[in-house]
Amino acid sequence: MTSASAPVVINKCLNKFAAPRLRQLSTSASQIGAGSAQEGDVTKGKRLHWTFLLIPAAVSAYLGVWQVGRYQWKVEQVKEREAGLKGEPINILQSSERVKDYQRVICDGELKHERSILVGPRPRSVMGTTQAGYVLVTPLENEQWGSAVLVNRGWVPASWKTDAELQASGLPKGRVQIVGVTRSSEPRSSFVPDNNPAKGEWYWLEVPAMAKAAGLPPDAQMVQVISSEPQPGAARSSAPTSMELMALRTRTSSAEDQYPLPRTMDDLMAFSVMPNDHRNYALTWFCLSGATAVLALRAARLKK
């Protein structure tokens, strides 16, 4: 073999035996690198997984704390309302200061029925039957003191507008005395239309606008008549008997049929969300927060 042909023979040997081995090593290195990258992605995904669970845990804990605050606020509201309803009545027409909401008051004067306002419609459920009706608000004036208030006298049926017999039972003449509590304007829902005083259309209790429409000063307060007797169809501690049901269904006339129907003390102490409801909501949110936090800790341990 000549010296010139030796490199050619060496190259042929390398191509035949070494090249496949080098390619195999290169492929293995590539697979190892890809596996390491994939393992890193999985670890990162696990980390993101358990960290992500901490978000609903924190949000639930915040909502639980918020419900605790609402519970404490509602308890104070109940105490203040009870104190006002059970306190000695104040003569609102002689008071030089504005009386706070839900304060028990007394007033006397003459009801101006011709300037009454019907607010509604306000349906009412009695014995499983829905009755259409309105809330009747009538101004009361006392000429001796030169003062006046709006009186929320309670619920009347829709037929009260046209039934003279019904109206006669609810239009006391002369000087009357009203015992009730002070109330401010209702919070207006986004689903309730705005009042239209020009057309006499009232959908919610807006005290300043109603006082102006009734010819009273805009700062006149509203007194809601209260009754110590439960209204027909009101909640009771025990279920009615069959005889009671028959009596209610066949009754043609009674004191309960006299309109307007005022609110009761129990009605005024009722909230759309009672304090115990806020307490239950808080417990639910705290349980959800704790459960989600436990899942996050378990997920954090599994990634190791």
Summarize pLDDT for 205-250 with one digit per residue, the tens: 999 999 999 999 888 999 999 886 544 444 443 344 433 333 333 3
Q: Are 74 and 275 in contact (CB under 8 A)?
A: yes
In this predicted model, which residue has the larger pLDDT, 169 or 303? 169
**3-state SS assignment for residue 163:** coil
Q: What is the mean pLDDT of the chain?
A: 77
End-to-end CA gap in the chain:
64
- pLDDT, tens digit, for every residue of 144-195? 778 899 999 999 999 887 777 777 767 888 889 989 999 999 988 888 999 9
CA distance 38 to 131: 69
In this predicted model, which residue has the larger pLDDT, 29 or 59? 59
Give the pair of three-digit tokens for residue 86.
Answer: 């059970």
pLDDT of residue 47: 55
Closest by alpha carbon to 223, among 113, 141, 144?
141
pLDDT of residue 25: 47
Model confidence band, residue 138 (pLDDT cutoffs 50, 70, 90): very high
Whole-angstrom Cα Rg for the chain? 38
- Phi/psi at 222 (nearest 5 deg)? -110, 135
Number of H helices, E strands in the chain: 7, 10
pLDDT of residue 180: 92
Is the predicted pLDDT of residue 129 greater than 80, yes or no?
A: yes
Adjacent-strand bridge partners of 149: 140
How large a percentage of the chain has pLDDT more than 70? 72
Neighbours of 247 (CB within 10 A): 12
pLDDT of residue 136: 93
pLDDT of residue 240: 43
Q: Count CA atoms within 13 Å of residue 26 on its CB side.
A: 6
**What DSSP character marks residue 15?**
I
Q: Are 250 and 241 in contact (CB under 8 A)?
A: no
Question: What does the chain come to in residues?
Answer: 304
Is the predicted pLDDT of residue 46 greater than 80, yes or no?
A: no
**pTM > 0.75:** no
Q: Are 3 and 11 in contact (CB under 8 A)?
A: no
Q: What is the largest CA-CA distance in the chain?
A: 143
CA distance 202 to 150: 15
Mean pLDDT (whole number) for 255-283: 83
Give kind and range of the element (H or E) at residue 130.
strand 129-131
Model confidence band, residue 141 (pLDDT cutoffs 50, 70, 90): very high
CA distance 132 to 158: 6
Closest by alpha carbon to 53, among 304, 288, 243, 237?
288
Q: Are 211 and 150 in contact (CB under 8 A)?
A: yes
In this predicted model, which residue has the larger pLDDT, 221 or 19? 221
CA distance 205 to 211: 10
- Cα–chain center distance at 28: 65
Listed in order, strand segments (DSSP E) in 158-298 are: 175-183, 222-227, 263-264
